[in-house]
Chains A and B, each alone.
Chain A
Amino acid sequence: MPVNQTPVEPSTIENIDTGIYEWVRDLELSTVTNDGFKQTPVIWLGTERAFQIKNNKELRDSVGKLKLPLITLNRDSIAKDPAFKGSFQAHMFENPDFKGGTITIKRRIKQDKKFCKRRLVKIIKRKRDQARRQ
């Protein structure tokens, strides 16, 4: 039976930003405009000037004026709360060992190795019993 695996993305700032952005975008918020009922575009603020002007030309008219309505996203600040006690506490320090401080999320049992060990134990037990009898 295949192992049920769920890939977990690391919680980097970039991944969190991307997640929030994609979540807002996938809400597909729409509104009534002069051109009818349209989905509102979502853009991330703070990109480079050339990217703003040249990337998505549908956001602007012929002279470069933004077409409203728009939803903009921006990360103002970020804070790490050491008091937060969730299933995985925020404040983690690195261990100075060779692993650097790993945390076990799940274990996979190596079945063939386990079977060999069990057989080996049985053989040893049997030999001990034989020795006692003699």
Chain B
Amino acid sequence: MSDDKWKKPDQPPPPMFLGEKERNLVKQVNDEIIERVIGQQVLYFPLDIEHTDYHPLYGEAVEKTFLPPVRVFALVEYQGVETQFEQGLGIDKVTKINVKFHKKRLTEDQDLYVREGDFVRYGDIYYEVVKLVEPRLLFGQPEQSFEIQAECIRARDGLFNAS
């Protein structure tokens, strides 16, 4: 019998250029660009559900308790002030920002998880996170999402005040 030297291996070989080292390199480059080159930052206020006195039915709280705020470097896209006409209310103004967080930096290094309903401070203004999008994966690997976009609207006076 001839020796079968073209035998199929038990496990497929690991990807050559899309492993942990490459992922860490991407994280490092992104960290440097976001923190040292661009340098935009927000203050993130995670709401504390346990210590906030929410109404048991309506789920509303006049005074909100938050965990210690975290300074986060992120890419902030200011979307301006927009006039809106509310039925039964009249003219209203909406200010929006779009904050792009570096997910790996947040979860692995700062132990912070972005959630709807939390608040961010950008400049002197508080914004509420209303929508989250995780639009892309690193190298198309399903467990490697690395960006969180948070759509935030300016909080009305009296809704949240950390000072």
Contacts and interface: CB of A to CB of B under 8 A. Distances in A.
Given A55-B49, A55-B59, A49 B116 contact: yes
B117 A55 contact: no
Contacts of B117: 48-54
A48 B59 contact: yes
Contact of B128 (A49, A51, A54): A49
Contacts of A53: 115-117
Contacts, number: 51
Of listed B58, B61, B115, B116, residue having the most chain A CB within 10 A: B58
Interface string B46-77: 01010000100111110010000000000000
A83 B61 CA distance: 36
A49 B130 contact: yes
A118 to B, nearest CB: 52
A17 B60 CA distance: 14
Contacts of B116: 49-50, 52-53
A46 interface: yes
B contact patch SS: loop
A17 B58 CA distance: 9
Nearest to B56: A18
Interface in B13-64: 47, 49, 54, 57-61, 64
A44 B115 CA distance: 20
Contacts of B47: 50, 54
Contacts of B59: 44, 46-48, 51-52, 55
A14 B55 CA distance: 10
Contacts of A14: 57-58
Contacts of A18: 57
B118 interface: yes
Given A53-B115, A53-B116, A54-B115, A48 B49 contact: no
Contacts of A48: 54, 59-61, 117
Of listed A17, A50, A54, residue having the most chain B CB within 10 A: A50
A21 B49 contact: no
Which 3 pairs between the two chains have the least Cβ-Cβ distance?
A47-B59, A50-B117, A49-B117
